Amino acid sequence: MTPTRAPPPIWQAPCCQLGWKVGNSMQRRILGGVAILAACANSVQAQEEPFELPPLVLGTALRDNRNILDTPVAATVIEGEELEERQADTYEELIGDVPGVLIGGGPRGVAQEPNIRGFQDEQVVLRLDGGRLNFNREHSGRFFFDPDIVQRVEVVRGGGSTLFGSGAIGGVIAVETKDPSDLLRPGQTTGARLRFGYTDNGEVYSPSTTLYGDYGAFDVLAFLGGREAGTDQDDGDGNNILRSEVDAFNGLLKFGFEPNEDQRFELNLSYFEDDGRIPPNANTIANLDPDSGNDSDRSSEIFTYRLSWDWNPDNSDLIDLSVLVYGNTLEIQDDRVRDGRADFTEYDTIGFEVVNRSRFDLGVPVSLVYGVEAFRDEQTGTRNGAARTQFPDAEATTIGAFAEATFGVTDRLDLIAGLRFDSYDRDVDDPALADVDDDFFSPRIGFSFRPNDNWQVFGNVARAFRAPTLTELYNDGVHFAFDEIPLGPPGTPLTEITNNFVPTPDLEPEESTQIEIGTRFEKANMFRPGDVLRFSANAYYADVENFIDTVVTGPDFSRLAPPNPTTALGDTFQRNVDAELYGFEAEVDYDAGNWFGGLALSLAEGKSKEPGDELGSIPQSRLIATLGYRPTADWTVGGRVTFAGDQNDVAAGGRAGDSYTVVDLFGSWAPSQGPFENAVFRAGIDNIFDEQYTIFPNELPQPGRSVKVSATFEF
């Protein structure tokens, strides 16, 4: 990622991606990219005075604010202008280029879900302003908030169950929304932000309004924003991505109260809705005629609330307390177009957590983060008012306690040890299906060594787990229809042949042992006064027992034959397999004021340990590159290129991933004086050469050439 610096704030720009399998061509490109950055360093205009590089802090994703150079995990932080520059309409556009991260689901935002190193969907903990977003229904997405209100994203890659319990087997994505302090200029107590955005591919309008103020002990923020699509998007071949015309709206209210310097109370209320006609699997190509397929008119609503209390007395090293109560209520209505069949889905989460941070001396300095967490998920589903077996009534409860200590063995060496205990149960409202309960310990040991102020070497070994979700355990009934065929004499109605869910209540929880080692480097005034160089690299290996793998079979027409004929000619079920995932990630970013550039590499591999089986979730290899120029402090222009490699190691019957090359351009103008002072105008062209490409393991092509423009005004 482009380094976060002091002035000018417009320096940050989005990273680019490029990727493929390691080979001579990749080595040449990496060396060539480093040479380009070095050449830029020698040709830039230097700042007059050196400056001190502010620490890059990792916060909510580690439950404590720490300099990233003191953390023993692979992590990326993106915030502020770097997010704004992306002009993102979806979360794939917002964070899909982070090393090790893939946002799956294709171009329809309603289907997008996270993937970290091949761990996907519910194998990644997703947090919004501290509260968990646990919902997962296949093909329904998990990102229910507008990209424009996002201020900061923290991504921790690798097993994080020691701090976050079930679901953090792949990592944690923590999203934080804007606060008044992020928007108020020096000397301001109230302000307003207006944004107008437009993307020509899909005719997407994205206006938003944010009002905010700080009144001493009280502060408040109100946000209204949306995405209104006028038509379907086109792919690189100029074909419609059918049923990609989906509208969204988001509203957010935040109230803060600080009775004194030691305490803060905050209430966050958010409402999100989307609406559009989509196929039942939103990651697949839609039928040309919706009246002959299973397309549905989908509308979803999610209401989230967060009530937090932070207490950090100035005179105490033992108390730095955070208490959070949160909840999410999600409702999705799917009305099938051809026959009006109505499916209703509700998923509610309520959670509570208490976290404290203490610092003391036991002969060596010790930093301790510890706490308790409890949350409950409840789901219900109906079809035409009756119980729906595809989403049965069920609830899941999890209670956990954790502690992680950092021991300062020397001024340069920290040792980290942590442990979490979780107890969970899954209860289903069906006497034919078994309830599930279990518990799990998640330990971690690690180290962080600072040979000098600029370098870090880190490593850790962690155990992580994930309990099966309600849908993995209990889904039943029809998954999708293959076709309609005549099974009777001429004139009889056609019979639908289907693929059916098979409940698997005996699934074991996923358990993994993960090993990681890496290094980081940060330095200001590296080649010239005022420049910044950041570098990181890490290798990882995850040995996973009982990896939950989805199997889709059929159609098997022999099932139509006696003695027990059935029209369910295929099955969808979950199974436990042992697997291993491993890979390498690296980033380098250089910013010299007038010039900036970056490279980021993601190499991911994974396979089932059973002979002949592959995992279908391993992303394509990518190398990420950015190069930009600032002719003045007001202007930024740049380009990014994405090279992705072939992915031929796919599950049986799966579709291979083809390599692709995508070129993007971006630019911005932020006048420092005149009538447009405090305004920012941005423009970009994504996929400028209209590349036809698909991000593996998606099935749906990505959009073709897309021209994006936006204007932001602050008052």
Q: What pLDDT was estimated at residue 51? A: 65
Q: How many CB atoms lie within 10 A of CB 32?
A: 12
Q: What tens digit of pLDDT does each residue of 230-242 get? A: 999 999 999 999 9
Least reliable range by pLDDT among 463-467, 589-593, 681-685:
463-467
Query: What integer is the mean pLDDT of 82-108?
Result: 93
What is the 8-class DSSP label of residue 657? B
Model confidence at 19: pLDDT above 80: no
Question: Who wins on pLDDT, 521 or 650?
Answer: 521
Instruction: Give the confidence band of 280 by pLDDT, cuts at 50, 70, 90.
Output: confident
Q: What is the DSSP string of 314-359?
A: TT-SS--EEEEEEEEEEEEEEEETTT--EEEEEEEEEEEEEEEEEE
Q: What pLDDT was estimated at residue 189? A: 96
Instruction: Give the confidence band of 411 by pLDDT, cuts at 50, 70, 90.
Output: very high
In this structure, the dihedral spanned by the alpha carbons of residues 649, 654, 660 and 664, taken in order and rounded to 10 degrees, is: -120
Model confidence at 586: pLDDT above 90: yes
Q: What pLDDT was estimated at residue 49? A: 58
Q: What is the DSSP string of 425-472?
A: EEEES-TTS--EEEEEEEEEEEEEE-SSSSEEEEEEEEEEEEPPPHHH
Work out the end-to-end distance of the chain between its first and last CA atoms, rounded to an integer number of angstroms.
29
Model confidence at 380: pLDDT above 50: yes
d(CA 78, CA 686): 20
* Angle at the Cα of 565 from the Cα atoms of 564 and 568, rounded to 5 degrees: 120
Q: How many CB atoms lie within 10 A of CB 694?
A: 20
The size of the chain, in residues, is 715
Model confidence at 31: pLDDT above 60: no
Query: What integer is the mean pLDDT of 428-445?
Result: 86
Query: What integer is the mean pLDDT of 17-39?
Result: 41
d(CA 37, CA 586): 15
Instruction: Give the confidence band of 307 by pLDDT, cuts at 50, 70, 90.
Output: very high
Query: What integer is the mean pLDDT of 553-557?
Result: 80
Q: What pLDDT was estimated at residue 611? A: 64
d(CA 527, CA 265): 45
Q: Report the DSSP pairing between strands 568-591 and 495-501.
A: parallel
The CA-atom distances, in angstroms, between 578 and each of 497, 573, 613 are 33, 16, 10
Model confidence at 60: pLDDT above 90: no
- Print burial letters for 205-240: b (CB count within 10 Å at least 16), e (below 16): ebbbebbbbbeeeebbbebbbbbebeebbbbbeeee
Instruction: Give the confidence band of 466 by pLDDT, cuts at 50, 70, 90.
Output: confident
d(CA 502, CA 504): 6
Q: What pLDDT was estimated at residue 226? A: 95
In this structure, the dihedral spanned by the alpha carbons of residues 413, 440, 133 and 277, taken in order and rounded to 10 degrees, is: 130
* 248, 229 Cβ separation under 8 angstroms: no
Q: What pLDDT was estimated at residue 290? A: 67
Q: What pLDDT was estimated at residue 16? A: 35
**Burial of 604: CB neighbours in 10 Å, binned 0-12, 13-18, 19+:** buried
d(CA 145, CA 608): 35
* 216, 190 Cβ separation under 8 angstroms: no
Q: How many CB atoms lie within 10 A of CB 708?
A: 23
Query: What integer is the mean pLDDT of 157-170?
Result: 90
Query: What integer is the mean pLDDT of 74-78?
Result: 93
Instruction: Give the confidence band of 570 by pLDDT, cuts at 50, 70, 90.
Output: confident
Tell me the backbone φ, ψ of residue 696, rounded to 5 degrees. -65, 140
Q: What pLDDT was estimated at residue 330? A: 96
Specify the 3-state DSSP secondary structure of 551: strand
Query: What integer is the mean pLDDT of 447-462?
Result: 96
Contacts of 24 (CB under 8 A, 6+ apart): none
Q: What pLDDT was estimated at residue 40? A: 46
Q: What pLDDT was estimated at residue 352? A: 96
Q: What tens digit of pLDDT does each residue of 325-358 get? A: 999 999 999 998 988 999 999 999 999 999 999 9
Query: What integer is the mean pLDDT of 631-644?
Result: 95
For the chain, list the domains and their CATH numbers. Answer: 9-631+657-714 (2.40.170.20)
Within 13 Å, how many C-alpha atoms sit on residue 34's CB side?
A: 11
Model confidence at 27: pLDDT above 60: no
Instruction: Give the confidence band of 11 by pLDDT, cuts at 50, 70, 90.
Output: very low
**Burial of 502: CB neighbours in 10 Å, binned 0-12, 13-18, 19+:** middle
Instruction: Give the confidence band of 613 by pLDDT, cuts at 50, 70, 90.
Output: confident
Query: What integer is the mean pLDDT of 293-314?
Result: 93
Q: What pLDDT was estimated at residue 359? A: 96
What is the 8-class DSSP label of residue 3? P
Question: Who wins on pLDDT, 578 or 434?
Answer: 578
- Region of 32 please: left (phi>0), alpha (psi -120 to 50) or beta: alpha
Q: Could you tell me the two tokens for 278?
A: 């989509």
Question: Who wins on pLDDT, 263 or 428?
Answer: 263
Q: What tens digit of pLDDT does each residue of 105-138 get? A: 889 989 899 999 999 888 999 999 999 999 877 7
Q: What pLDDT was estimated at residue 5? A: 33
Q: What is the largest CA-CA distance in the chain?
A: 88
Instruction: Give the confidence band of 612 by pLDDT, cuts at 50, 70, 90.
Output: low
Q: What pLDDT was estimated at residue 485? A: 74
Question: Who wins on pLDDT, 453 or 563?
Answer: 453
Model confidence at 93: pLDDT above 80: yes
d(CA 357, CA 234): 51
Q: What pLDDT was estimated at residue 653? A: 65
Q: What pLDDT was estimated at residue 555? A: 82
Model confidence at 389: pLDDT above 90: no
Model confidence at 430: pLDDT above 90: no
Using alpha carbons, select from 401, 400, 312, 322 the residue that is nearest to residue 359. 312
Query: What integer is the mean pLDDT of 199-203?
Result: 97
Q: What pLDDT was estimated at residue 39? A: 46
Q: What pLDDT was estimated at residue 684? A: 97
Model confidence at 451: pLDDT above 60: yes
Specify the 3-state DSSP secondary structure of 117: coil
d(CA 81, CA 11): 8
- Region of 39 please: left (phi>0), alpha (psi -120 to 50) or beta: alpha
Q: What pLDDT was estimated at residue 22? A: 37
Sign of CA dihedral 146, 147, 151, 153: positive
d(CA 342, CA 232): 24
d(CA 427, CA 396): 6
**Which pTM was predicted?**
0.89
